Amino acid sequence: MELSRAQYSQEFRKESVQFFKESGLTLVEAVKRLSLPKGTLKNWVYADKRGELATLGKHQKPLTELELELSRVKRELAEVKLERDFIK
């Protein structure tokens, strides 16, 4: 059985990196909130520092509507978790 690699929209990558940089969270805390593998966000952050984030995933097939919706929901969930923790 082959494991498929997750695909993320360019917008989700950008917003995840922005969330990490602005949240003040550690990488481990941020990946838990975003439901991402640790290495994935780490790679995106390094690519962003090199100015290469926009070129990641250029050769992937386009995401389906369902995949785009899942990406949006994950982003919203991360924001709600951050707001909840801030209120605590």
How big is the CA angle at 65 (ends 61 and 39), to the nearest 5 degrees?
A: 55
Mean pLDDT of 43-72: 80
| Whole-model pTM over 0.85 | no
Give 41-56 pLDDT, tens digit per residue. Answer: 999 999 999 998 888 7
Report yes or no on 1 lying in a domain. no
When divided into structural domains, the chain yields a total of 1
Report yes or no on 3 lying in a domain. no
Report yes or no on 29 lying in a domain. yes
Q: Range of 70's domain?
A: 10-54+62-87
d(CA 29, CA 20): 9
With a CB cutoff of 8 Å and minimum separation 6, the contacts of 32 are none
**CA dihedral (87, 68, 32, 18) positive or negative:** negative
Report yes or no on 2 lying in a domain. no
Report yes or no on 45 lying in a domain. yes
Report yes or no on 34 lying in a domain. yes
